[in-house]
Structure 1
Amino acid sequence: MAAYTPMIQQYLTVKAEYQDAFLFFRLGDFYEMFFEDAIKASQELEITLTSREGGSDERIPMCGVPHHAAHNYIEQLISKGYKVAICEQTEDPKHAKGVVRREVVQLITPGTVMEGKGLSEKENNYIAAVSSFEDGTFGFAYNDISTGESRVTILSANFDEVLNELAVLSAKEVVVASNFDEALQKKMRDRDVLAISFEDNSSIDLNFQHLLEAVNQEKLKQAVARLFNYLYRSQKRSLDHLQPVTTYQIHQYMKIDYYSKRNLELTETIRSKGKKGSLLWLLDETMTAMGGRMLKHWIDRPLISQNEIEYRQTIVDVLMNHYFERQELREKLKEVYDLERLAGRVAFGNVNARDLVQLKRSLMQTPFLKQILQGMPNEQVNKIADLLDPCEEITDLLEQAIVENPPLSLKEGNMIRDGYNKQLDQYRDASRNGKTWIAQLERDEREKTGIKSLKVGYNRVFGYYIEVTRANLHLLKEGQYERKQTLTNAERYITPDLKEKEALILQAEEKCGELEYELFTEIREMIKEQIPRLQSLAKTVSELDVLQCFAQTSEERRYVKPQFSAERLIMIKDGRHPVVEKVLNAQEYVPNDCLMDADREVLLITGPNMSGKSTYMRQIALTAILAQIGCYVPASEAVLPIFDQVFTRIGAADDLISGQSTFMVEMLEANNAIANATKNSLILFDEIGRGTSTYDGMALAQAIIEYIHTRIGAKTLFSTHYHELTVLDKELMKLKNIHVSAIEHNGKVVFLHKIKEGPADKSYGIHVAQLANLPKELINRANDILIALEQSDIQTVPAKIEVVKEPQVEKPAQLSFFDEPKEPKKQELSSKEKRVVEKMKELDILDLTPLQAINMLYELQKKLKH
């Protein structure tokens, strides 16, 4: 350390406290990084790596970014999961004795982002804290620092519950004790947690003791204290916007585990990981950022309280029946700014004058929202209206204080209205009058001297001056002005009166800027005192926004209000998959019924690939979820039980991170359902057992069906290609066979997408392969093998099928699968048919989803028909 210069020593001292973060060290107009930070940052940010002398024998690696553009580079690092410590000069260099004092003023991490591109307006940015206790349970607390929301719960000894909560929240960062189990830390990282941070202090500080009044268990307090201690230590500034902590239990909501959430594509799609194509995408007709975040929260946590569900339904019903009022509501909500995050920025101290104008405009919409709701004759709607606090004091303050179009920077001035502060008005008057005096001086001097080109100018070095060109110098009287500066083509002069006015003007402008900033800070502090009111208003507006969104979507898409059954009855008429229906044309979608009562607990679904089995299963689950978030459902009539949990095993994918095969993932997900489901749960199993040999898979599938039917009693939809399982309806009295129908037309399969009673008679696998445009020779050979297999004893291993080693020129006639006539001679294709063939050749079959493949086939078929 002694070998380095004092400045580098200072850097190393600060860096020692922030080993896991990039240290942005302020030097003049740049943030500099040194040593390993510089090498790594230059790679991650693609900036030039240089070096400098530091007192030692070797040059020190260095890179830097401009102070004014630092936020862009910080966002890049944060998006990659890094942390950035901002080290500023905290001492005026003029007064410094030796090295200027520098301190870290903020630690920015993936979970503590307050603004910028890393903060999606319709998504929360959560940071969580996990505490392990001696009895094996876990304390789980989470917070969104941008909105101030904080919640806490106790989770069981099963760490999967912690992982599931992190997945539901999409938490970006997790805070744990420094001795937290490393294997569990790895599991959290595998679930896309960007950063893990450490905080050993779990004691309750006076700074946040008032936020824990509703938390009465010591474990819960410790979990929250760990999180808050980390936030206060890292942010080093006011967190007055933090809301009182609320407790929750995961069993208060419908439990949907991580895999089921993914399989059902509730908030993002499996393939693209994007919002488009998800249930959230379908529903999101919210008009505010706050409403968008609340909608996602409701989808992640459907209700299980019938009273709470029916309360939401009541509001949706009223809004659906008042179309014009709803449209007016939507227009007013469109003008409402993000009150939650704005309150956070007020407390954090990074709010600007334009934000406050947005706040004023938002609050000005509140009386209109209130009036619209009061015009609807419903007690529940009127209660919402009563909760809408217009916060007139804030509106009046901002109307009197802030100009309508203020500058973005707080240092530019011109953001406080005339008439708001008497002293400011005096400074402005002096400044404006002084400039008027200078303009009049220029006119007077031109008249006195007769020099029309004479001008009064200003620069920062000399202040105000009178400039006369050399050609006109002879017109000046000796001693008329005091020479100040000689230029090539002109002379600059001053007068005592001009310097006096200059002092007045510059002093007024300087004091004006300082006073404006002081006044803005006072206004910000006054608004900070009203943050709880703003947050309460934000919550009410968010709920109203989501409920109008449900009404809007339900009316547009012809959804109906579901009824709830205490007898665990599922009765859906003309049910549809909400997302698939939107992607397809509504007229093309084939609706289906679903009946599951006391005598129909398990539905065994058979039918061809791509016929719609998975879509049918998903639509039942999505209908239940829509119902339990308070929305209407895609059907002509619907009666549903209230499910406590939804489990799915749909789709096949290896878990490469943990090194598990498709079959292992399948068995783990099946076990999760079997171990945790109750009779009030909904289970969707799609082709369980296909990842292993035929007989193993069939045996496992049958055993699972029997276990669920006999031991659990949950409503279960089980799709399979094992047609041998359809005989189970003779032994299991509450199991019924249904199938997705298809017909053969000209030797080809046509999917009807209609659910019918009874088992399917064929699987049509070869025909699906034919639709995928596999070579005709291969298809014919598959048919031959199929016939031979069907003629063997299905209870024994089939006789060995002779392998075709080379193409046969002649072969004995065999019965075709559909008893087709001999293939006619090839005919010349029409131009239309040629275009369709060319289009099919261009398709990459392996890159299409089943839904995309069906859509493409439909389009090609239409072109051939018309």
Structure 2
Amino acid sequence: WAIDRTVTSMGGRLLRRWLEQPLLNVHDIQQRLNAVADLKEQFLLRQELREALTGLYDLERLTGKIALQTVNARDLQALALSLDKLPPLVQILNSVRDGWLKELTAQIDLLPELRELLKAAIADEPAAGLKEGNLIRPGYDAQLDSLRLAASDGKNWILTLEAGERERTGIRSLKIGYNRVFGFYIEVTKSNLAQVPAHYLRKQTLANGERYITPELKEMEDTILGAEQKAIAMEYDLFCGLRDQASGRIRSLQQTAQALATLDVIASLAELAERENYCRPVVDLSDILEISQGRHPVVEKVLGPGRFVPNDLKMDMAGERLMILTGPNMAGKSTYMRQAAQIVLLAQAGSFVPAASAQIGLVDRIFTRVGASDDLSSGQSTFMVEMNEVAQILKHATPRSLLILDEIGRGTSTYDGLSIAWSVIEYVVDRQNLGCRTLFATHYHELVDLDTVLPGVFNCHVEVSEDNGEVIFLHRIAAGGTDDSYGVEVARLAGVPDPVVGRAREILVQLEEENVGRQKLKIRRNARPMDGQLDLFASTIALKNTEGILDRLKELDIQTLTPLDALNILYDLHQKAHKTGRTPG
């Protein structure tokens, strides 16, 4: 709904297909962009075109029903009404300048013979069923008209007979009715049975009266019903002929429907670009992805005019190609990454984009790994789902792909998650593996130092302002990394009880002072990717082993220790120290 401005059902479906299947051919993309630009510039023409399209029925589905022989009279009436609107629509399109728009206009077949035939044949308010009559307009077929007249005159005769019988018998409540079982009958209430003439033949006894027939009534019944049944059968035959006439023009109808749907989508995208201040993107074969003042099309619509904070993005496969994006939750990291993907998608679908300017080096695939959820049906945990998705991305991505990776590794323990996130970054940024353009959001702030050893990695963060202890999310993307997550403040904003928030602050301060779980990564500048860069885990193991040595020393009773025992213990400690990577000095 944020970008759909189509006015026909077939246009709405085609827009969805364009977005689901963006183009990979720059020429085809430019063809769409040129057409959108032409209609964007011609405001009056665009408005007239959209108004003309508004009155059209769903020709795609009507054509499908005709092909499948499931069409009814109302469908053919809708087809006739739609065909009747095409001549003025084509007249409007005669002033378009774009070559592709002219081609689309030429593909619209007005089908004047079929249009006039259906207008002359189909009744004004046709029945939904095909065996009930009222399908064909009076005057279309002389034989059908005569049958209808016979049936109509017979019904008038019935009304005259009913009035005459009331007068002759003196039974004011006498009435003539009809049902499918007994046909026409004369109904008399119990209180008037004594006045029933002798020539009436009893047909049915009711709780409140009797039903009778007469030879004269049955004779007219045969005439009326015979005429009606013949008329219904003839109407059906005439309708089938009309349906066959429409079936013979299936190809023209399909071509016309496709052209009209395409025009609707182009006009929709032009209207969107004009109303929402979208720009025309430059789509080429470069490896650049540069967006100035980009906006998220959906979030911007939800927030309202002027409230969304636009941001820039610049990367290319030869230089900075993998952004490590840090910042607190709720600051806008996911929105920023998704808006980049959506701008690329819109551009390659042939649409203008929500930005001041944009250059899109052609992207062959967009991969996203965002959110967290279990797959209960297959027994997969959140982390397993995440790893399956990462595996598929790394398996199918190419150097031309765009990767959106949000919080890789958060579904497992800190060290495991950090290891996986680091390894994925190394693999993706390496041009021998992928080297594709990637946005990588993370709360593992230790990763921000990877830009010093991995060519192509660069850091950005979402700016936050602190005012009297209050955290204000600015939603602006700035260069460089950050090591603050403001998780406690986010918990407070989410409504976590004050005692819990207060205690969380105390624990956070204590952990920071003790440097627990916040050791800085020691990254060697001469380390090769995938080759033992991580000193954090080795130092952690060493710390645990050192604590074991200290515990052993504390347990010793120096007063009772013999020289031989002392030598054995010293040898044991020496061996443990070697395992930690440290030797006693």
Provide TM-score, normalisation by structure 2: 0.80
Match of 2:306 in 1: 587
Shift of 1:455: 6.9
Shift of 1:376: 2.4
Cα deviations by residue, 1:141-181 (Å, 9 ceiling, x for unpaired): xxxxxxxxxxxxxxxxxxxxxxxxxxxxxxxxxxxxxxxxx
Q: Distance in 1 between matches of 2:211 and 2:329?
A: 92
Cα deviations by residue, 1:500-546 (Å, 9 ceiling, x for unpaired): 54433222112112211222222222222222222222211221222
- Partner of 1:679: helix, strand, or coil? coil
Match of 1:557 in 2: 276
- Partner of 2:306: helix, strand, or coil? coil
1:483 aligns with 2:200: yes
- Partner of 1:395: helix, strand, or coil? helix
Shift of 1:592: 0.5
Match of 1:389 in 2: 109
| Shift in CA distance, 698/472, structure 1 to aligned 2, threshold 3 Å | closer
Shift of 1:390: 2.0
Match of 2:291 in 1: 572
Shift of 1:691: 2.4
- Partner of 2:263: helix, strand, or coil? helix
Q: Distance in 2 between matches of 1:723 and 1:494?
A: 100
Q: Distance in 2 between matches of 1:555 and 1:538?
A: 26
Q: Distance in 1 between matches of 2:427 and 2:324?
A: 14
What stretches of structure 2 of length at least 5 have no aligned partner? 521-538, 545-585
Task: Say if 1:469 and 1:489, in contact at 8 Å, map to a contact too.
Answer: yes
- Partner of 1:755: helix, strand, or coil? strand
Tell me which of 504, 508, 512 is aligned to 1:790: 512
Tell me which of 7, 23, 41 is aligned to 1:321: 41
1:398 aligns with 2:398: no
Tell me which of 336, 340, 358 is aligned to 2:56: 336
Q: Distance in 2 between matches of 1:295 and 1:549?
A: 9
Shift of 1:452: 9.4
Q: Distance in 2 between matches of 1:594 and 1:468?
A: 89
Q: Residues 703-718 of structure 1 correspond to what in structure 2 (within 5 A)? A: 703-710=423-430, 711=432, 712-718=434-440
- Partner of 2:200: helix, strand, or coil? strand
- Partner of 2:379: helix, strand, or coil? coil
1:753 aligns with 2:475: yes
Match of 2:255 in 1: 536
Tell me which of 83, 86, 101 is aligned to 1:363: 83
User: Taking CA–CA contacts closer than 8 Å with sequence separation of 6 or more, which of the two structures ends up with the larger relative contact order?
Assistant: 2
Tell me which of 714, 720, 723 is aligned to 2:442: 720
Tell me which of 476, 479, 487 is aligned to 1:765: 487
AA aligned to 1:290 is: M
1:637 aligns with 2:357: yes
Q: Distance in 1 between matches of 2:185 and 2:77?
A: 36
Match of 2:222 in 1: 503
Q: Residues 609-758 of structure 1 correspond to what in structure 2 (within 5 A)? A: 609-710=329-430, 711=432, 712-758=434-480
Tell me which of 137, 141, 146 is aligned to 1:426: 146
Q: Distance in 1 between matches of 2:192 and 2:465?
A: 102
Shift of 1:652: 1.9
Shift of 1:394: 2.3
Shift of 1:668: 2.5
| Shift in CA distance, 501/589, structure 1 to aligned 2, threshold 3 Å | same
Cα deviations by residue, 1:486-510 (Å, 9 ceiling, x for unpaired): 99989967465x6554433222112
Task: Say if 2:461 and 2:480, in contact at 8 Å, map to a contact too.
Answer: yes
| Shift in CA distance, 495/727, structure 1 to aligned 2, threshold 3 Å | closer
Cα deviations by residue, 1:405-437 (Å, 9 ceiling, x for unpaired): 012222221221112222211211222233344
- Partner of 2:376: helix, strand, or coil? coil
Q: Distance in 2 between matches of 1:720 and 1:525?
A: 63
TM-align CA RMSD: 3.1
- Partner of 2:378: helix, strand, or coil? coil
Shift of 1:748: 1.9
| Shift in CA distance, 456/606, structure 1 to aligned 2, threshold 3 Å | closer
Cα deviations by residue, 1:818-859 (Å, 9 ceiling, x for unpaired): xxxxxxxxxxxxxxxxxxxxxxxxxxxxxxxxxxxxxxxxxx
Match of 1:300 in 2: 20
Shift of 1:628: 0.7
Match of 1:519 in 2: 238
Moved more, 436-445 or 521-530: 436-445
AA aligned to 1:561 is: R
AA aligned to 1:754 is: R
Q: Distance in 1 between matches of 2:423 and 2:314?
A: 24
AA aligned to 1:356 is: L
Task: Say if 2:3 and 2:297, in contact at 8 Å, map to a contact too.
Answer: no
Cα deviations by residue, 1:717-765 (Å, 9 ceiling, x for unpaired): 1112222221222222322211100011111211100001111242212
- Partner of 1:550: helix, strand, or coil? helix
| Shift in CA distance, 475/740, structure 1 to aligned 2, threshold 3 Å | closer
Aligned pairs, number: 514
Q: Distance in 2 between matches of 1:283 and 1:697?
A: 37
Cα deviations by residue, 1:678-731 (Å, 9 ceiling, x for unpaired): 221111111222223323322322222222222321011111222222122222
Q: Distance in 2 between matches of 1:666 and 1:470?
A: 85
Task: Say if 2:171 and 2:195, in contact at 8 Å, map to a contact too.
Answer: no
Q: Distance in 1 between matches of 2:48 and 2:278?
A: 22
AA aligned to 2:489 is: H
| Shift in CA distance, 470/760, structure 1 to aligned 2, threshold 3 Å | closer
Q: Residues 65-464 of structure 1 correspond to what in structure 2 (within 5 A)? A: 281-439=1-159, 453=172, 457-460=176-179, 461=182, 463=184
Please identify which structure carries the higher helix content: 2
Cα deviations by residue, 1:185-205 (Å, 9 ceiling, x for unpaired): xxxxxxxxxxxxxxxxxxxxx
AA aligned to 1:463 is: F
AA aligned to 2:289 is: I
Q: Distance in 1 between matches of 2:54 and 2:239?
A: 27
Match of 1:143 in 2: none
Shift of 1:466: 10
| Shift in CA distance, 616/453, structure 1 to aligned 2, threshold 3 Å | same
Shift of 1:334: 2.6
Q: Distance in 1 between matches of 2:507 and 2:104?
A: 68
Provide TM-score, normalisation by structure 1: 0.55
Q: Distance in 2 between matches of 1:425 and 1:642?
A: 65
AA aligned to 1:431 is: A
- Partner of 1:718: helix, strand, or coil? strand
Cα deviations by residue, 1:609-629 (Å, 9 ceiling, x for unpaired): 111111111110010001111
Cα deviations by residue, 1:449-480 (Å, 9 ceiling, x for unpaired): 6969597734353636698999899999xxxx
The percentage of counterpart residues that share the same residue type is 43
Q: Distance in 2 between matches of 1:456 and 1:756?
A: 89
Cα deviations by residue, 1:249-283 (Å, 9 ceiling, x for unpaired): xxxxxxxxxxxxxxxxxxxxxxxxxxxxxxxx322
What stretches of structure 1 of length at least 5 have no aligned partner? 1-280, 801-866
Task: Say if 2:162 and 2:176, in contact at 8 Å, map to a contact too.
Answer: no
Q: Distance in 1 between matches of 2:390 and 2:195?
A: 102
AA aligned to 1:484 is: L
Larger Cα Rg: Structure 1 or Structure 2? Answer: 2
| Shift in CA distance, 470/646, structure 1 to aligned 2, threshold 3 Å | closer
- Partner of 1:283: helix, strand, or coil? coil
